[in-house]
Structure 1
Amino acid sequence: MNHQLTIKILLRKISFLDITCSLHFAGTCCSIDMSSYEKSDVAEREVKDRGEKEENKDEEKGGFLDKVKGFIHDIGEKIEGAVGFGKPTADVTEIHIPHISMEKAEIVVDVLVTNPNPVPIPLIDINYLIDSDGRKLVSGLIPDAGTIHAHGSETVKLPLCLIYDDIKSTYIDIQPGSVIPYRVKVDLIVDVPVFGRLTFPLEKTGEIPIPYKPEIDLDKIKFDKFSFEETSATLHLKLGNQNDFDLCLNDIDFEIWLCDVSIGGAELSKPTNIEKKGTGFIDVPITFRPKDCGSALWDMMRGRGTGYAIKGNVNVDTPFGPMKLPITKEGGETRLKKNKEDGGDDDEDEE
């Protein structure tokens, strides 16, 4: 009985200690939680107060900057109104092709720039690009392009150059004789008081040819007057135009060789139009001395064919402007023929 009573008393003490410890621990936790909450609340209030102060400072600073910007803007408008500053204008008015040869095309772009300001404005840089169907043909930069006078307009000429070998080596589908579309893009950069640097993007489109030299053949040679000292004859030339545009032949400058002997040059008697992908015939009078030709002339007069060569140039008008194109023929063969009144046969075929 005594042992049982002792055990019961011990169990009660242990339970009491457990309850006391639990209450003490709970109180401590509550104390800690309350303290943390109070500190967190204070920190939040401090952050909030600091944020409000910074916002007030930013508002004050922003308001000051806005006032300064507004003041500068107002001053700028007053200066512009009083002095008469304004934005210049620019436009591509025309594109010229002053020179086209078998090697290159020279292009001049006319840009009209109008300056409404009371002071000259400098053209700082001009960037240019020529492309065809999105493919770059040529590009570059022209620095310090000049100055536009005050209260005036001026046409700025931009000289550009297309090298055909560069184009054909880059784009193999662009063949001689074709006509390709192009677009010229120009960025005109000027420096204007009050406004600062301004860039004017400009562009214009058109077409440009890739010329092909005419094919030439000596169809016939006919006597008009014959003597050993001087003989006049007419050269019947056949010209083939392989271009996608017409050629109006205005002048021809060439030299002709018979059996490696030069008999001189000739001039065109009248202009001739040759349609695109077509053939034309021209008569060219020539005067030469038979005694300078050696045996070659006598062989031709006996009805024997003889070799000939032609080298020179033709001056033609095209829809794209005048061109000077080369003409060459080597290894050809022809015969001299007399007029009907001299006993010749005009209808005889050439050998």
Structure 2
Amino acid sequence: MSSSAENDPTVTVTERSKDKHEDGDKEQGGGGGGFIEKVKDFIHDIGEKIEEAVGFGKPTADVCGIHIPHISLHRADLVVDVLIKNPNPVPIPLVDIDYLIDSDGRKLVSGLIPDAGTIHAHGQETVKIPVSLVFDDIKSTYKDIQPGSIIPYLVRVVLLVDVPIIGRIKIPIQKDGEIPVPYKPDVDVEKIKFHHFSFEETTATLHLKLENKNDFDLGLNLLEYEMWLGDDSIASAELTQTAKIEKQGITRMQGKGTGYTIKGKIDVDTPFGNMKLPISKEGGTTRIKKDDDDDDDDDN
């Protein structure tokens, strides 16, 4: 019987088939590397090779700059420059831009810009995001933010782009910085020294005091003012004398004119850009002098 079993090919074939089946079960079941895993690896490799051959990939973005083209007592206009690079051989649409500016975790402003344009194939574009901060809204919402202070901010931007083959993806980016909440400088007329007084013409020298209550320096470029005596405007002048008014500091200037009420504006440079700020003083008191009066204060 044993010899006939050894010579029977049917038994041999059945045993080999069983061995192969068992081997396949071991490959599929136990430790990875089975048929299904090999198919997955094959598809993954083919996908990567197709992506490499066609040249599709995820775009990149970065905040390359933040500018403050306008700032006043009431608001600050910011422009956030976002540089987007497209490595693909076809243009990709920039579907949406979602932005948020906060300060110490508190939202200052947010918004959405739809249909923001197209990034050229194998190219790069600088997308400009305009943002306005209204200081009255910020100060009314957060009582601890006072005029004259400098507050930190964080710009968070999320770009939604539509990439062929890959699909829609989100690109989050952010950048921090500082922005001032300006305070109007105080102006006062310390004294008026008359040189000539008549019905036709009156000339005098005004000794002006400007006080900077901001936490940043002001580089004075221009001072324009007009003087009133009661309801009558009696004089106006423009000074291009430059001066530096240090933060929480005072500077003194001299100008021609006469009067009791003064209103005008100053043009100043700051670490955050150029500003034009109003100045005013109503009902102020000052000393009035004549040319022949002796006073040590003339050196001011």
Aligned with 1:187 (options 141, 147, 158): 158
Distance 1:152 1:258 in 2: 64
Give aligned pairs, total. Answer: 268
Amino acid paired to 1:346: D
Q: Is 1:316 matched with 2:287?
A: no
| Structure 2 partner of 1:164 | 135
Aligned counterparts, 1:85-234, within 5 A = 85-225=56-196, 228-234=199-205
| Structure 2 partner of 1:26 | none
- Displacement of 1:274 after TM fit? 0.9
Partners of 1:95 and 1:107 within 8 A in 2: yes
- Displacement of 1:282 after TM fit? 1.4
Q: Cα–Cα, structure 1 residues 78 and 335, in superposed 2: closer, same or farther, change >3 Å? A: same
Partners of 1:215 and 1:240 within 8 A in 2: yes
Distance 2:250 2:221 in 1: 16
Give CA-to-partner distance per residue, 1:259-284, whole Å, 9 cap, x none.
33211321114111111111111122
Distance 1:110 1:348 in 2: 52
Higher strand share: 2
Higher helix share: 1
TM-score, normalised with respect to structure 2: 0.81
- Residue segments in structure 1 that go unaligned for 5+ positions in a row: 1-54, 287-296, 298-306
Q: Is 1:83 matched with 2:54?
A: yes
- Displacement of 1:335 after TM fit? 4.2
Distance 1:269 1:324 in 2: 14
Distance 1:251 1:215 in 2: 15
**Structure with greater Cα Rg:** 1
Distance 1:210 1:194 in 2: 47
Secondary structure of 2:93's counterpart equals strand
Distance 2:156 2:177 in 1: 12
Partners of 1:312 and 1:326 within 8 A in 2: yes
Distance 2:175 2:283 in 1: 46
Aligned with 2:278 (options 316, 321, 326): 326
- Displacement of 1:221 after TM fit? 1.8
- Residue segments in structure 2 that go unaligned for 5+ positions in a row: 1-24
TM-score, normalised with respect to structure 1: 0.70
| Structure 1 partner of 2:13 | none
| Structure 2 partner of 1:4 | none
- Displacement of 1:226 after TM fit? 5.0
RMSD: 2.6
Distance 2:256 2:42 in 1: 83
